[in-house]
Structure 1
Amino acid sequence: MTTHQEDPRSRAEALLSSIRRWQAGAVTREDVVLELTRVPLERGAVMLDVLTGLLGQVELAKVTTGEHAQEDTESWRNELMASRARNWNYPDGAGLLVCPSVLILTDGKRGVVLRASGTTALPGSTSASIMLLCQTIVMAQHAVDAQELKKLQDQRIASTSTSLSEIEIIR
């Protein structure tokens, strides 16, 4: 049986279309996040194509930070601290931060901030920091998940041991 692999470029175009529809008010942000996070971890090339497409739109539209220039450090800190993250694997590494009011997509060299009102390019140094933050959040989540799994396994072993010790011996 042959499995059909979707063309990365067409997948990227579908994601770009979804982002455009969100920014036009036609779909919800949650719909876009769901579509982005459905891209398999080994398909980072798709995310790189999305990033390239978004940066091409920013250059063509000459979007500036305008209305967002007054955001202060504290509001950004709060935004980043409340974020969730997703990473796509090397060699086509990319990271996505899902913050309360923005989405941030980066490959560590380039990046964009996505809002319902438009797209803003990130400087390279900020993109690198955002990629590191994505990786840190994902690693921390894996560590927490591993600790929780270990606790659950220990609880199960303890409850099984207790249950087994209460079974009467058949003589």
Structure 2
Amino acid sequence: MTGFRPTKPRRHGSLHAALSIAIDQVGGLEDAADIIQRSTNWLYTAADPDVERRKKATLSFEEARALSRAGATALAEDLSLQAGGVFLPPAPDTAPAAIQAALASYAKESGEALAMVIQRAADGDFDRLDAEAAMKEIDEALKALMGVRALAVAAIEADAAPVARAASRAFAASVRA
């Protein structure tokens, strides 16, 4: 199995959604089960929000850490949001193309988040249902922004300020074109 695509929807922001994304990030159910040394059935049960309470499987912190070490950042992202913060991803490549891609992603995601909030508040009210509908877009915009921040941190740490300036000029030129 190359990815984890559960058939039941997982509510955005839920523990089950974060675990489902983490499973996908490491290559799917079989790979994730190998990483934490559990059966695929056990792991699928842990990621299923509709399992009866008495049959629920619980992922340990040690298992969550093992998934994180294998490249699943979704659990760290979820914990960061639960603590009122945001997850700063690992420092990526600071090549101009990577910076332009990160900026483009942030522009797209923040625009979609802003549009969603404006649409949901157009009736003069922004209630719980509106907020829940907008949260996925808002979280995607935050993730994209933190990707841009990670690039800035990497540039500072690598003393690559000239590369970042060149990328900024190239990005600005491409927007004007």
- TM-score by length of structure 2 reads 0.28
- TM-score by length of structure 1 reads 0.29
Q: Which has the higher contact order (CA 8 A, sep 6+)?
A: 2
- Structure in which a larger fraction of residues adopt helix: 2
- Higher CA-based Rg: 1
- Structure in which a larger fraction of residues adopt strand: 1
